[in-house]
Amino acid sequence: MARQWNSYLALGDSFTEGLDDLAPDGAYRGWADRVAERLAADQPGFRYGNLAVRGKLLRQITAQQVPAALDLRPDLVSMAGGVNDLMRPSWDIETMSLLFEDAVRRLRAGGSDVLLFVGVDPSRRSTLLRRMMPRIVALNALVARVAAEYDCLTTDLFGVHVFDDPRLWAEDRLHLSPEGHARVAGAVLESLGRGDGSWREPLPPQPEPARTANLREHARWTAKHLGPWLGRRLIGRSSGDGVEAKRPGLTPLAP
């Protein structure tokens, strides 16, 4: 029988906030909201919170969101972070290891079940991200080690080929599309004992775009997404500056 939780709190960055999965009201939904909705359907009185904010580094997640989680004492906590760190020149896996393990240790000591993520392999879909594979592998190894040591639930997305499909990714190629969030939600629910594995199934085939169309799309992506991202790095700004958590407390979620 699947384990039951009365409350769930999501911690992290844009991956967990839900970019770019828009709900009908214009707010971001995302895989965490989808998972919470499914859990609420099984558990009357279920409560859900989401503290994730786009652009947050691991030190910000552990300094700001983890203490709030310890105060709220949810039955289940998910924590995903570190990808924004590995995209910066100041990458430091030793410091990240200390921060990540201490956060998980405190969450487990506070009585919460903890869900962690082994991230996707982007090397087959992105030349730019392929260059970061040593860092991605190191981060995934850290997550796997801590998950085993502290008896955490784990959603392992690495090597799952459906995530090579560009239709699972938003226009900026970094965030998930609505279909991508739906697939991650399916993976998480399977980790929680509620999935059937259908999230791994490939999408129907589609025609390959012409080479000229690919070149035009790449130029548009560079101007609209890569350029502004590099600009923010140069001036020390984050996409999350001034953004507040969308569900800062544990509140009832109707099934």
Does residue 90 lie within any of the structural domains? yes
pLDDT at 6 over 90: yes
Q: Residue 138 maps to which CATH number?
A: 3.40.50.1110
Host domain of residue 63? 7-252
pLDDT digits (tens, 9 = 90+) for 15-57: 999 998 999 888 999 999 999 999 999 999 999 999 999 999 9
Does residue 2 lie within any of the structural domains? no
Does residue 133 lie within any of the structural domains? yes
pTM assigned to the model: 0.89
pLDDT digits (tens, 9 = 90+) for 242-253: 899 999 999 999
3-state secondary structure (DSSP) of residue 3: coil
3-state secondary structure (DSSP) of residue 149: helix
pLDDT at 154 over 60: yes
CA torsion through residues 164, 169, 171, 175, sign: negative
DSSP designation for 82: -
pLDDT at 95 over 50: yes
Does residue 142 lie within any of the structural domains? yes
Strands 247-252 and 47-50: antiparallel
- pLDDT at position 140 is 98
Domain count, the chain: 1
Does residue 1 lie within any of the structural domains? no
3-state SS record for 92-145: CHHHHHHHHHHHHHHHHHCCCEEEEEECCCCCCCCHHHHCCHHHHHHHHHHHHH
The dihedral formed by the CA atoms of 233, 239, 242 and 246, expressed in degrees to the nearest 10? -150
220 or 189, which is more confident? 189
Are 163 and 174 in contact by the 8 Å Cβ rule? The answer is no
Q: Give the span between the Cα atoms of 123 and 133, in whole angstroms.
A: 7
How many alpha carbons lie under 13 Å from residue 106 in its C-beta half-sphere?
A: 16
Does residue 16 lie within any of the structural domains? yes
pLDDT at 225 over 50: no
- pLDDT at position 232 is 54
pLDDT digits (tens, 9 = 90+) for 168-187: 999 887 899 999 999 999 99
